[in-house]
Amino acid sequence: MKCKKNHCQTISLLFNINSELTKKQEMDTTLNNILNIIAKQMGLLKGILTIFNRQKAEISIQYSYGLSPKEQIRGKYEIGEGIIGKVVKTGEPIIVPSISNDPVFLDKTGSRENIDKEKVSFICVPIMDKSEVIGTLSVDKIISEDNLLNENLNLLTIITGMIFRNVRIHQLNQEEQALEEENRRLNEQLKEKYKPKNIIGNSKVMQNVYSLIHKISVSSTTVLILGESGVGKELVANSIHYQSDRFDKPFIKINCGAIPVDLVESELFGHEKGAFTGAINMRKGKFEQADQGTIFIDEVGELSLELQVKLLRVLQEREIDRVGGAKTIKVDVRIIAATNRNLEELVNQGKFREDLYYRLNVFPIIVPSLRERKSDILLLTDFFIQRYNKQNNKNVRRISTPAIDMLMSYHWPGNVRELENCIERAVILTEEGVVHSYHLPPTLQTGKSSKTSYSNKIEDHLQSVEYEMIVEALKETHGNMAKSAKMLGLTERIIGLRLKKYGINYKSFRK
């Protein structure tokens, strides 16, 4: 028994769609192939599959037949906008017998500008998952005498029932990607928001420090900042204070290691007139000066055991006694202490009070050394170059590759402070707008510090300069031997011999 032509075509179409759905292939490939099968077997001008993004409340074209990539990108609709937006809003299919006569029809893609719109009909069917609209399937067809729009609509409805699971998966994937992008964007905003403006560095270890600074700044908890000399402990203390509620109150600093031992008590707690020889007037100490604000006690590990007892009292009672005074003074002060010494070892040696250590160590922040955050070296170098360009009226624009290698291989026992001093020296020495390795201090160039061979012979130093000039020339000319030789005033033969001597491969400098 022969089937009717339209009926056979419908069976063939549904069979082909089902075959695509059972194939082991990427979902994008499946939906794209199905749309092409529908378009070809139904004789469509255009076919469009949109997906509704619930988070953005936006409907966008994900797959199309008969649209260019640019036209497809333009196909974005709000709920209720145009025919597609209306179908998503109502969940009901819509037939437009002639797109030229329907004011609701929007050609947002701009793909129908050069066709006779009076001869084109449009059918849009919702893609449903139970009672929820997750997208639409729409087609453009040339109007003909036997144009069976209702039959086509019924067929498209059947097809949407076959593909809704794939569309749902695509929708969920799309929304998950949107969430991940939003999370990345928010994380970047948070990094910038919480990153102190006075500290340079984007490394992971510094991001952890920034996070701790942000969390502790909102409280008045005692903070202990630990780290080697020159890592920037004072900058961390500054950041904590100026991000706190006390930002507009005093921020008082004292370095216990820079003050004579017999004067530290007076500096911290003040003294009364006549308390000791030379005390001709009453003087407030750092704690009184910091009242309502923050006191930063640097090198707290240098305090004597006697002063440690008095500091412990301040931490416990928030009270002080001036030297030679009989009146107890209440202070409201946030305490931030810092040290480069291992306080636990000092406690074990009996040089630091255990009870004071635990009082200070409420919220420790360990500032990493520069060798632990080498990815920040170039950022810091650029910052210091700009600073000392201004101070010395210089115009240093870059740093040479060998110089960068030396900065990155050095172990930086003096940390950021040592790096700053190196760059200041290099900026002052350079005369040509480029920092070369020979502008850096000798400490970076010794075998002991940089793990490179070193000799006091002048020939070795001349070879080092020659090597760097050749590398810079090759870098400038992208590995062009002839141009490099001309820049250096050498013949191609001589530069070839030099490359062989130093083991330099000119091809590695080509783009």
Residue 454 pLDDT: 44
pLDDT at 87: 94
Spatial separation of the C-alpha atoms in residues 399 and 251, rounded to whole Å: 37
Rounded Cα–Cα distance for residues 360 and 376 (Å): 29
Q: When comparing pLDDT for 475 and 253, which is higher?
A: 253
User: What does the pLDDT average to over 219-243?
Assistant: 93
pLDDT score recorded for residue 495: 87
Pairing of strands 132-142, 120-129: antiparallel
pLDDT of residue 447: 44
Q: Which CATH class name applies to 205-368?
A: alpha beta
Predicted confidence (pLDDT) per residue in 292-339, tens digit: 999 999 999 999 999 999 999 999 999 999 988 888 999 999 999 999
Q: What is the mean pLDDT of the chain?
A: 87
pLDDT (0 to 100) of residue 389 = 94
Mean per-residue pLDDT, 85-102: 91
Q: Which fold has domain 455-511?
A: Arc Repressor Mutant, subunit A (1.10.10)
Would you say residue 117 has pLDDT above 90? no
Tell me which fold the domain 5-178 belongs to.
Beta-Lactamase (3.30.450)
Evaluate if residue 190 carries a pLDDT over 60: no
Domain ranges of the chain: 5-178, 205-368, 370-450, 455-511
pLDDT at 188: 65
pLDDT for residue 480 is more than 50? yes
Q: What percent of the chain stands above pLDDT 70?
A: 93
Q: Which amino acid appears at position 30 of this protein?
A: T
Yes or no: say if 410 and 449 are a contact pair by the CB < 8 Å rule.
yes
| Angle, alpha carbons 353-355-361 (nearest 5°) | 100
- CA separation for the pair 34, 65 (Å, rounded): 10
Confidence of residue 274 (pLDDT cuts 50, 70, 90): confident
pLDDT for the residue numbered 261: 83
> What pLDDT was estimated at residue 343?
94
d(C-alpha 171, C-alpha 159), whole Å: 18
pLDDT of res. 355: 94
- On whether the pTM is more than 0.85, the answer is no
Q: In the structure, what pLDDT confidence band is assigned to residue 431 with cuts at 50, 70 and 90?
A: confident
**Model confidence band, residue 196 (pLDDT cutoffs 50, 70, 90):** confident
* Domains 5-178 and 455-511 alike in fold: no
> Mean pLDDT, to the nearest integer, of 472-490?
86
pLDDT exceeds 70 at position 461: no
Mean pLDDT of 368-385: 93
In this predicted model, what pLDDT tens digit does every residue of 138-171 receive, in sequence order?
Answer: 999 888 756 688 888 999 999 999 999 989 988 8
Tell the residue number behind the tokens 């029932």, with chain if given.
Answer: 161
- In angstroms, the CA 44 to CA 138 distance is 10
Contact 61, 50 (CB under 8 A): yes
Specify the long-range contacts of residues 84-91, CB closer than 8 Å, at least 24 apart.
84/48, 84/50, 84/59, 84/124, 84/136, 84/138, 85/59, 87/124, 87/125, 87/126, 87/133, 87/136, 87/138, 88/50, 88/52, 88/59, 88/126, 88/133, 88/135, 88/136, 91/126, 91/128, 91/131, 91/133
pLDDT band at 445 (very low <50, low <70, confident <90, very high): low
Q: Average pLDDT of 18-46?
A: 89
Across 62-71, 139-148, 167-176, 184-193, the highest mean pLDDT is recorded for 62-71
Q: What is the pLDDT of residue 181?
A: 82
Give the number of other Cβ atoms within 10 Å of residue 316's Cβ.
11
Q: Give CA–CA dist 405/397, Å, rounded.
A: 17
Q: Alpha-carbon distance 77 to 102, whole Å?
A: 17
More confident position, 192 or 142: 142
Report how far residue 33's alpha carbon sits from residue 39's, in angstroms, rounded to the nearest whole number: 10
Percent of the chain with pLDDT over 90: 47
Tell me the CATH number for domain 370-450.
1.10.8.60
Alpha-carbon distances of 125 from 62, 84, 331, rounded to whole Å: 15, 9, 74
